[in-house]
Structure 1
Amino acid sequence: MTKKSSRKLYTALAVAAVSTASLAPAVVTEAASKAPVVKAKSAYVYAGDLDAALDATYEGAPIHWYKSSVNLEKLGTFQTAKGIVKGKGKYIEKRVRVLDHPIAILPPSEPLVFKQGKPALGIVKQQVKFASGTYEKAVRWSKIDTSEVGEFVATATYTNRGKTITLEVPYTVEGYKLSIMHTNDTHAALDLAPKRATAIKQIRAEKPDSLLIDAGDVFSGSLYFNEFKGQADLKLMNYMKYDLMVPGNHEFDLGTEQGHKELADFVRYANFPFVSSNVNYANDQYMKSLYRDEVSQKAYNGRLYEGVIKVVDGEKVGFFGLTTEETASIASPGPIEFQNYIAEAQKAVDAFKEMGVDQIVAVSHLGYNDNPAFDNDLLLAENVDGIDIIVGGHTHTRLSAPVLITEGKTEPTVIVQADQYSNFLGTVDVEFDKDGKVIKHAGSLIDVKALQPDPYAVELLAPFKDVVDTISQDPIGVSLTAPLDNPRDKGDETAPSVRKNETALGNLITDGMLTKAKEYDAAVIGAVQNGGGIRASIDAGPVTTGEVLTTLPFGNTLAIMDLKGSELKAAFERSVGIYPIENGGFLHVSGFKVLFDSSKPAGERIVSLQYNNGTEFVDVEDATSYKVATNFFTAQGGDNYVEFETAFKDGRVNDLGLIDWENFRDHLISLGEEVTPAVEGRIVDVNAAE
């Protein structure tokens, strides 16, 4: 017989020994001083169960075993179990061999999490504790139901050598998660950009799949833009690895009849794509080659698309972009055309649905609650179903937490917006069910000012900052006794705002416009300045060139309009028409006194409109013509001033070509070394006064 055959025979005999239920014929030995000892047949101890291996009786008599004679932790070698046969006066011995056996299934090292609607495996490798150690074994799980989101309990089962062990384990079924970091209306406020970079790195360390999106208006607002036309911003944005951006209205500030060269350069050198769904670039000689009229699943950097699809958490997410239609009147769009936001949004949602994409994000530069006569995010959510998230900009709204819109909708929409000027990095985390419906959401604003700057971002910014600092630090020779504030109400209609209230800053700017215009035409009776064109406060103390430039950053020129009194009254009705909602077209004045009643319907609010005739304030007469100074942007009908647009088209506007910030600087200097700002009651709501 070979060794192999002998081993097989031995194994067979061993198994037979385990299965036998009776004792083998006993061998009885007699000793003069001892009771007889019965030698029972050898056995194996399976799964640590000694009782199963020891006989219960001998020749009908019960056996009492001394179990302490066997060490269950001693595996693989034969030991002698000893006992006594009751009523027989005999001892009994049995050789047993303790085999390795499972003791417990160890809990999973990580929580069990399954995606809704995705099948869960029935057999999973899991750590099982044996007598000899812990090993990875194939463990069978009871059927795990992933049809609903929630917390549940599953049972794990493992069987080995006749021993079955179980473990109840909690598990979670979750939806599909999308995390977004977002910014908007940064307006070239780059001094905080290195701190923004730090915040972005912190979020990515926690959520590596988080996307980074900008909702527009990187352009205009600081010396960085005046000097570098967006390229300084782009250097930092590329370093921060933005994923997407929508153009805001200020991205179109530098347009000419030929198009937008500076914007084209900004887009072309971006290491990320843009979404722009309601803008027609076909007639812009610089932009048209960069635009793709398609929804792309593989978008290229430095290009604009109708929509972009990204895969996040294993699911496709669709992104499209909207720019306010007001851009046509509040920027310099040149040959660019803006299309209806509702129609284009619905078109985008339908396109995504046809492609099997149920998770949809609108990157919007419409404004949270901007003028409803044009567009805003609330109206977008109300009128277009299927948009899950609106990442917004334009109104500089500080939404400390996401706003959930549910009324009248089959699916909820989450709206976020992150203030302005790089003050905050917004975050929003959304969980979708298997059908793409939002089931959970959370979000916050991170105050970047409290963070340490990212060292490499500081290094990238340095050459741009050196140039800007040189310009900014040049004093103009005037000191303010109090700050010239430039407030925004941030969605609180009871708070003051440069876009709905008289300010000392607006008074000084328009005084400068009127003074300069009178140098060219003594017949000018007053001046008006749109509140949306006043971009920053000026601190008390010495005033620098940089502060003046930052306050009036657009480089608008001074113009004189020839208007009928009726046109002027209609324009002021438009100025206060949506009060107390902010209005970028709100007119600050010099040479006028405006009384209005906010309790009256729009179009019927002006109570009194007077101008200073040199000796006193007198009423503006409908049929009389008056000359009024403003910036050339407003004179062309900017901010939807159709009265001014009509005058422009009729040839009743004269552009003097004088830069606004220079006029403002010169006026401050003309007031002397010390200037005391004041609000003088030039624009008064009689309803509030009562």
Structure 2
Amino acid sequence: MHNNDSHAHLDDVAKFVTAVKGVRADKPEALLLNAGDVFSGTLYFNEFEGQADLKFLNLLKYDAMTFGNHEFDLGSNGEGHKALADFIKGAQFPFVSSNIDFSADDNLKGLFSDLESSDPENGKIYNGIIKEVNGEKVGIFGLTTAETADISSPGDVKFEDYLEEAEKAVKAFEDKGVDKIIALTHIGYDDNPAYDNDLTLAASVEGIDVIVGGHSHTKLEKPVVISENGSGQAKEPTVIVQGQEYHKYLGTLDVTFDENGVVVEHDGELIDVAELAEDAEALEILKPYKEQVETVSNTEIGATATEALANPRTDGDNTKESVRKNETVLGNLITDGMLSKAKQYEENVIMALQNGGGIRAGIEAGPITNGEVITVLPFGNTLATMDITGAELKQAFEISLGNLPRENGGFLHVSGGKVEYDSSKPAGERVVSVSYKNEQGEYVEVQDGEEYVVATNAFTAKGGDGYDVFEKIYQEGRVTDLGLSDWENFAEHLKSLGTVAGEIEGRIVDVLVKEVPAADFSGTTEEPKEYKGNVTVDTTNVDSLSNAIVNGDLVLTGTPSEEATFSNITVTGDLDLSDFGGDVILDGINVEGDTIL
């Protein structure tokens, strides 16, 4: 049995306990392994720093756990990794880690033994452990992503090459006569190959029979078998499993070996715990923690909304505005917080994007509570950055805008940038321009061949909501998951504002018909005003219009003053004068389309 990336999501843990007890009733010798990232993600962690989760890990009698990157999130506080050390010491099971060097950390160095133990102590860390299952010896070793150094706060904890350390661990087990070997990993199924992932591990290191993985939150409904090495040559099979996240699933895997310790049969599944009954014992353990979390949820964060921050939906009426197709104040605030936080880690980030489907509720006017923030962003997403070309960014916005006028959960809210589009165009051809603010606060159009850094949430960065362009970027290793909780980032941003207000700023603009005041229409001979899309100008009592380029249709309405002059205007579409009255002097007017009278 296995699970990973629970991230302090304990509200359904009683159902998860039911699932484990059910499997154990049929298979009492089944191993139970945890692939890391118990820490961070909900108020259960903020309040109890892993101790609430530990109650259930001990209740379920886990056989081993490895470390996720989030286990090191508290390393930069005044006590360093004391909370992690307390978590380890309180565990009634051992931890496995082959590629982490704890020797320079005062809180952790005394807990690690660089050996493969057949008699491990609870509350200690080992390079590997040996368990006996149905009379057979099974070796288990652990690996943690080296990316932790960039996306968490490990401090003096160092990370070694995962492939080299895996080879050493396999050899150590084989030297002890153990030929059934499990790698318990937190490196991601198909995560950034520039760092590490399970697919590379399986193809590169001989002798690993099973990889129980985490980190990428991958839902492997059935085990994946790797039977070729990186050169495409046949190798002994390695079975990979991973169970997504948040105690949603209990993974199971049955493996049959031949006399040489080679996998010959396997069967695995993910048990969806949602429909299971809650275990009474677990509910009783959870009760005091849940009560305190509910109290904290009602706690004010230190920010006040001067007016309600709406989260509109169309309810089937496509004429209405919606968070899934229009810029909103709430979307602007969320992405502003994302951009600010991302810049702390990568100063070259130009823009932040948030999918509208991930914004689930509004915020009432008045003091803002933790609970409200979590309700707005309830999915426990993390902040990620990606390296992306201008052409790819435009392609992403075509997907964002492709469903208009209907809603799209993947509609992208924007901070640091501006998107102009033409809703009259076919899907896939709607983006007119994508710009970002430079250091002078001026909008600069992105260039197709240039590469930029953009922030978004990990769900979107991996291709969620049909963003195949992002999925490709992720698969090419151009995404870095910073591992920072979205709701915590948002709360931090709101608190920094104190008084929370906002307005629609024109970050996402439909240029189908742009009404331009006559007084603002004209440019100069040296710098004519340029408009992208169709423009309407009310010319009532206007003396002149001049020096402009309209990349679309120009519609003139009203009656100008006598002897008005319109000069030096280029219209790439039609000039519509059907609602225009009066006489006017035309000088240097170039209309590439039709003139409609």
> TM-score, length-normalised on structure 2?
0.61
1:450 & 1:348 partners in 2: Cα distance?
39
Which residue of 1 is the match for residue 194 of structure 2?
A: 373
**RMSD, matched Cα:** 4.6
1:401 & 1:659 partners in 2: Cα distance?
34
Kept in 1, the 8 Å contact 2:494–2:500? The answer is no
Which residue of 2 is the match for residue 468 of structure 1?
A: 293
One-letter code aligned to 1:472:
S
Within the candidate set 393, 396, 408, 2:217 is matched to 396
2:250 & 2:446 partners in 1: Cα distance?
48
Does residue 432 of the first structure (1) align with residue 257 of the second (2)?
Answer: yes
One-letter code aligned to 2:242:
Q
What do the CA deviations read for 1:605-624 (whole angstroms, capped 9, x no partner)?
xx976317898622589xxx
Within the candidate set 63, 73, 91, 1:270 is matched to 91
Which residue of 1 is the match for residue 102 of structure 2?
A: 281
One-letter code aligned to 1:510:
T
Kept in 1, the 8 Å contact 2:360–2:378? The answer is no
Structure 1 runs not aligned, ≥5 long: 1-180, 484-501, 519-523, 558-567, 581-586, 596-606, 622-627, 632-638, 646-657, 683-690
1:235 CA displacement: 0.9
Does residue 228 of the first structure (1) align with residue 48 of the second (2)?
Answer: yes
Name the SS of the counterpart of 2:32 in structure 1.
strand
- Pick closer, same or farther for the CA change 1:615–1:250 going to 2, 3 Å: closer
1:182 & 1:676 partners in 2: Cα distance?
47
1:287 CA displacement: 0.3
Within the candidate set 481, 501, 515, 2:311 is matched to 481
2:152 & 2:19 partners in 1: Cα distance?
32
Which residue of 2 is the match for residue 322 of structure 1?
A: 143
Does residue 339 of the first structure (1) align with residue 169 of the second (2)?
Answer: no
Within the candidate set 431, 436, 453, 2:278 is matched to 453
Within the candidate set 605, 611, 618, 2:437 is matched to 611
Kept in 1, the 8 Å contact 2:339–2:352? The answer is no
- Pick closer, same or farther for the CA change 1:203–1:465 going to 2, 3 Å: same
Kept in 1, the 8 Å contact 2:89–2:124? The answer is yes
Which residue of 2 is the match for residue 204 of structure 1?
A: 24
Kept in 1, the 8 Å contact 2:148–2:154? The answer is yes
One-letter code aligned to 1:249:
N
1:338 & 1:466 partners in 2: Cα distance?
38
Does residue 545 of the first structure (1) align with residue 366 of the second (2)?
Answer: no
Kept in 2, the 8 Å contact 1:295–1:305? The answer is yes
Which residue of 1 is the match for residue 520 of structure 2?
A: none
Does residue 662 of the first structure (1) align with residue 492 of the second (2)?
Answer: yes
One-letter code aligned to 2:105:
D
Kept in 2, the 8 Å contact 1:213–1:244? The answer is yes
Within the candidate set 305, 312, 335, 1:510 is matched to 335
1:313 CA displacement: 1.0
Does residue 239 of the first structure (1) align with residue 59 of the second (2)?
Answer: yes
What do the CA deviations read for 1:453-512 (whole angstroms, capped 9, x no partner)?
1111111111111011112245776454358xxxxxxxxxxxxxxxxxx99987532324
1:444 & 1:678 partners in 2: Cα distance?
48
Name the SS of the counterpart of 2:235 in structure 1.
coil
- Pick closer, same or farther for the CA change 1:327–1:576 going to 2, 3 Å: farther
One-letter code aligned to 1:455:
A
- Pick closer, same or farther for the CA change 1:245–1:512 going to 2, 3 Å: closer
Within the candidate set 173, 181, 185, 2:5 is matched to 185
Q: Percent identity, aligned pairs only?
A: 50
Which structure has the bigger radius of gyration? 1
What do the CA deviations read for 1:102-161 (whole angstroms, capped 9, x no partner)?
xxxxxxxxxxxxxxxxxxxxxxxxxxxxxxxxxxxxxxxxxxxxxxxxxxxxxxxxxxxx
What do the CA deviations read for 1:507-537 (whole angstroms, capped 9, x no partner)?
532324679999xxxxx99875698xx9x95
1:465 & 1:190 partners in 2: Cα distance?
9
> TM-score, length-normalised on structure 1?
0.53
1:593 & 1:670 partners in 2: Cα distance?
22
- Pick closer, same or farther for the CA change 1:547–1:325 going to 2, 3 Å: farther
1:409 CA displacement: 3.9
- Pick closer, same or farther for the CA change 1:418–1:619 going to 2, 3 Å: same
Within the candidate set 441, 445, 465, 2:266 is matched to 441
Aligned residues: 418
1:368 & 1:547 partners in 2: Cα distance?
33
Name the SS of the counterpart of 1:394 in structure 2.
coil
Name the SS of the counterpart of 1:434 in structure 2.
coil
What do the CA deviations read for 1:151-179 (whole angstroms, capped 9, x no partner)?
xxxxxxxxxxxxxxxxxxxxxxxxxxxxx
Name the SS of the counterpart of 1:368 in structure 2.
coil
1:670 & 1:329 partners in 2: Cα distance?
32
Kept in 2, the 8 Å contact 1:212–1:242? The answer is yes
One-letter code aligned to 1:387:
I
1:265 CA displacement: 0.8
What do the CA deviations read for 1:417-475 (whole angstroms, capped 9, x no partner)?
00111111111111111111001101111111111111111111111110111122457
Structure 2 runs not aligned, ≥5 long: 314-326, 397-411, 421-432, 448-453, 458-473, 483-487, 511-597
One-letter code aligned to 1:215:
A
Kept in 2, the 8 Å contact 1:184–1:419? The answer is yes
- Pick closer, same or farther for the CA change 1:433–1:574 going to 2, 3 Å: farther
2:126 & 2:361 partners in 1: Cα distance?
46
2:67 & 2:99 partners in 1: Cα distance?
11
Name the SS of the counterpart of 1:190 in structure 2.
coil
Kept in 1, the 8 Å contact 2:188–2:213? The answer is yes
1:267 & 1:503 partners in 2: Cα distance?
44
Which residue of 2 is the match for residue 295 of structure 1?
A: 116
- Pick closer, same or farther for the CA change 1:575–1:279 going to 2, 3 Å: farther
Which residue of 2 is the match for residue 598 of structure 1?
A: none
1:241 CA displacement: 1.1
One-letter code aligned to 1:256:
S
Kept in 2, the 8 Å contact 1:277–1:306? The answer is yes
2:312 & 2:436 partners in 1: Cα distance?
29
Name the SS of the counterpart of 1:396 in structure 2.
coil
Which residue of 2 is the match for residue 309 of structure 1?
A: 130
1:573 CA displacement: 5.8
What do the CA deviations read for 1:73-103 (whole angstroms, capped 9, x no partner)?
xxxxxxxxxxxxxxxxxxxxxxxxxxxxxxx
2:341 & 2:37 partners in 1: Cα distance?
31
1:280 & 1:216 partners in 2: Cα distance?
17
Name the SS of the counterpart of 1:301 in structure 2.
coil
What do the CA deviations read for 1:656-683 (whole angstroms, capped 9, x no partner)?
xx975232367697247xx99999499x
Kept in 1, the 8 Å contact 2:138–2:178? The answer is yes
One-letter code aligned to 1:469:
E
Q: How does 1:549-628 map to 2 (within 5 A)?
A: 551=377, 590-593=415-418, 610-611=436-437, 617-619=443-445
Name the SS of the counterpart of 1:443 in structure 2.
strand
- Pick closer, same or farther for the CA change 1:380–1:505 going to 2, 3 Å: farther
One-letter code aligned to 2:27:
K
Kept in 2, the 8 Å contact 1:259–1:335? The answer is no
Kept in 2, the 8 Å contact 1:526–1:590? The answer is no
Kept in 1, the 8 Å contact 2:311–2:328? The answer is no
Kept in 2, the 8 Å contact 1:388–1:412? The answer is yes
Does residue 253 of the first structure (1) align with residue 83 of the second (2)?
Answer: no
Name the SS of the counterpart of 2:219 in structure 1.
coil
Name the SS of the counterpart of 2:178 in structure 1.
coil
Kept in 1, the 8 Å contact 2:336–2:352? The answer is no
Within the candidate set 33, 36, 58, 1:216 is matched to 36
